[in-house]
Amino acid sequence: MKYAFFLGCTIPARSRNYELSARKVADKLGIELIDVEDFICCGFPMKASDYKSAEVMGAYNLCLAQEKDLDICVLCSSCASQLTEVAHSLSEDGPDREQINDELSRAGLKYGGGVKVRHFARVLLEDIGIEKIKEHFVKDLSDLKTATHYGCHYLKPSEIYDGFDDVENPKSIETLVALTGARVIDYPGKKRCCGGPVLPVDENVALSVAKEKLDDIVDAGADAMCLVCPFCSVMYDDNQKSIESEFGADYNLPVLYLTQILGLAMGFDRKELGLNINVVKTKKLLSRYFD
């Protein structure tokens, strides 16, 4: 199993813990992630200001995967939605193929369609399968109480995602977390956005949105959050201290990536999973899983 590994912008710059743990988990499961040096931004952060240029960037990346005859595996939910959406508009009967190919011709490229884009979590469920994943677990995480956060673009817009999960009642992430034995805690605002895209516009609004979820999760009694998107992590992990000081709250809630939880159950050590890089300290919570 081989995929072009699309890291996007946030992960290599700000989320080495996600990248490290994902590479470890992939390795263990025999997933070959091929680095493509020339990949650029997926275009998502430019959609609001310049929709067409964002589409050109997405299409450029699809071309690079096409040249290698590989489908794309992504870790970031925004990259997943942007690249999937562009793949749809540039499909055989898609509306934008000709126009975008005109733009791409300046870089000597042409997109012919057919590259499939999927999030890492989806690849695990669809191409590896839960039985095979479970075979690699050596630690039982049943003492861990996690609250899963799906975020938005991992699931939405649903029309581009072939119905792989249910937007109003999603299960895919907790299915993977529950395999490790960890308990999945339900909480009221589970489907709420992290607020991240509003950060460059109005920081107070963005942090207020993130705060509501942290409140709900701590009230529900979870020990940690589980995420699948680096920008959600910017809001809940990187900005948790700012939210605490801005609103006079006290969470101290570790924010883990799905791949760190799976890697923990697979027996990788703290540094191999980048747990030492997480902003909110994970040492106390996870000490029982390490010698």
Partner 1 sequence: MDKINLDRADSNFKKELASQPGGETISACFTCRTCTASCPITAVNDKFNPLRIIRMALYGLKEEVLTSDFIWLCSGCYACQERCPQGVSITEFMTLLKNLAVKEGNMPTGIRAQRDTIKGEGRIYPIDDFDNKKRAKVALPPIPTSCNVVEKLFPPVRN
Q: Between the CA atoms of 124, 129, 130 and 135, what dihedral angle is there, to the nearest 10 degrees?
A: -100
Question: For residues 58 and 141, which CB has a smaller minimum distance to partner 1 in the complex?
Answer: 58
How far lies 4's CA from each of 112, 124, 168, 222, in Å?
17, 15, 30, 35
Closer residue to partner 1, CB minimum distance, 193 or 266: 193
CA–CA gap between residue 82 and residue 55 (Å, rounded): 8
* Nearest residue (CB) to partner 1, 126 versus 166: 166
Chain centroid to Cα 225, Å, comes to 13
Burial of 221: CB neighbours in 10 Å, binned 0-12, 13-18, 19+:
exposed
Q: Which is nearer to partner 1, 276 or 287 (CB)?
A: 276
- In the bound state with partner 1, the residue whose beta carbon lies nearer, of 162 and 202, is 202
Provide the minimum distance between the beta carbon of 140 and partner 1 in the complex, in angstroms, as a whole number. 27
Q: Which residues bind partner 1 (CB under 8 A)?
A: 7, 9-10, 12-14, 16, 19-20, 23, 35, 37-38, 40-41, 43, 45-51, 53, 56-57, 60, 95, 103-104, 106-107, 152-153, 156-158, 167-168, 191-193, 195-202, 205-206, 208-209, 212, 271, 274
Distance of closest approach, residue 16 Cβ to partner 1, in angstroms: 6
Q: How far is the CB of 290 from partner 1 (least distance, A)?
A: 18
Q: For the CB of residue 18, give the shortest distance to partner 1 in the complex, in Å.
A: 11
The continuous run of DSSP H or E covering 80 comes out as helix 77-89
Closest contact distance (angstroms) between CB of 60 and partner 1 is 6
Helix and strand totals (H; E) in the chain:
13, 8
Whose tokens are 């809940």? That residue is 236
The least distance separating partner 1 from the CB of residue 77, rounded to whole angstroms, comes to 11
Closest approach of partner 1 to the CB of residue 181, in Å: 28
Of 74 and 199, which CB lies nearer to partner 1 in the complex structure? 199
**Contact status, residue 90 vs residue 113, Cβ threshold 8 Å:** yes
CA distances from 187 to 27, 77, 216 (A): 33, 21, 6
Residue bearing tokens 């590994």 = 5
- The residue (of 122 and 211) whose beta carbon lies closer to partner 1 is 211
